[in-house]
Amino acid sequence: MPPLTRVAVAGIAVLAALPLVAGCGTLGNLGAPSHNRPAKSFTVSGPVSAVVIHGGSGSIEVTGSARSTVSVSQQVSYSKTPPIATHSLRGGTLTISYSCPVEIVCGVSYTVQVPRGVAVTVSAGAGSITLTSLTGTVSARAVAGLITAVGLRSATASFTSNAGGVIASFTAAPRSLTVNTNVGPIALTVPGSVAYRIAAHTFVGSATVTVHRSGSSAHSISASSDLGSISIEPA
């Protein structure tokens, strides 16, 4: 696809995300007041090997620690009818999600504490995603929002943001790291003690790679942006 065509596609991605962003704030300021109930929390004490969060409008924060249980705090926002938040535990996978009626403002923000080694999969419509101190497999996708990952030791990680950016730092060298944005920068910091197989492509922007490179390395990094700079640096 020619670069200009890709930029046009990236622009369409931003426009597609605007209704989601507007639903969170702008439209709410036009006569639909947003209601915010006090945050509700719950703890899952059963064996959890993976956490899946299906978000929509609202921020999502997931932090790993030495704890053995999963703790979830959820804050709802709505203009008329509150969203219905649900969670289920099946086969070691905890799935967290919510549903909304048709209204201008409706969303849930999550703050989740998990054991470090739990696999985490997160998706969001309009809202930021923050991942901290995780060691299990990590996957995050945002339609309109910044993805930030800090202090990861995950061997496998994947991040995608349609309209936003990705900032990720690792304290252990990932074996497979894949990052994609349509519109937004990519900034990756990884241990400089090993070399990496790297594929970095940007159609409008610059790509700066200062880590050691090796075509035969067991550690691979793939970063691609239609409109945005790419930086891959040693810690």
CATH code assigned at 41: 2.160.20
Assign 61 a pLDDT band (cuts: 50, 70, 90).
Answer: very high
Q: Evaluate whether 229 touches 183 at the Cβ level (below 8 Å).
A: no
Q: What is the mean pLDDT of the chain?
A: 89
Q: Is pLDDT of 27 > 70?
A: no
Range of the domain at 212: 3-234
pLDDT tens digits, 64-79: 999 999 999 999 999 9
Q: Give the pLDDT band (50/70/90) at residue 13.
A: very low
**41: which 2 tokens?**
């929390």
**Distance, CA of 167 to CA of 147 (rounded, Å):** 6
Q: Token pair of 218, please?
A: 């067991």
Sign of CA dihedral 98, 147, 132, 118: positive
Task: Quote the pTM value.
Answer: 0.87
Among residues 203, 56, 49, 221, the alpha carbon closest in space to that of 137 is found at: 49
Number of domains within the chain: 1
